Amino acid sequence: MSLDWTEGALRLGLRCYETGAFFEAHEHWESVWLHAEEPEKTFLQGLIQLTAALHHFQRSNVAGTLSLLRAALRRLEQYPEVFAGIEVAPLRDEICAWIDALEAVPPSHPPAVPHIRVTTETTIL
């Protein structure tokens, strides 16, 4: 299965993500995830967990945010620097920065929302 971020539910989810509508992004991507096969299925699950984490953050649930960020990172760590049209390496770095900020004592405000960078390069596992 090839993931096309320029149309359909993936594009709609990306637009929602970019505007901070994380719950809606989650819903769009989940509709694709339900029919996906590996390795794209686990990759999408990582992105969906990222959106859920950010939704929890919007609702001031830091514990839920951290739990989902860690889960997303565990899934995304198994993919190369670029996969399925997404630049994974910088996304992982930005997720780590969020985790570090939220785990700091005292917690600090996290940096900008992790940016999902779409590329034309694809890598298959």
Q: What is the pLDDT of residues 78-108, one digit of tens each?
A: 999 999 999 999 999 999 999 999 999 888 8
The amino acid occupying position 76 is L
Residue 122 in this model has a pLDDT that exceeds 60: no
Q: Please give the mean pLDDT across all residues of the chain.
A: 94
Give pLDDT, residue 124.
47
- At 82, which helix (H) or strand (E)? strand 82-83
CATH number attached to the domain at 8-103:
1.10.3450.10
Strand segments, DSSP code E, in the chain are 82-83, 86-87
Give pLDDT, residue 121.
58
Give pLDDT, residue 96.
97
Give pLDDT, residue 107.
80
CA triplet 19, 63, 26: central angle to 5 degrees? 35
pTM of the model: 0.93
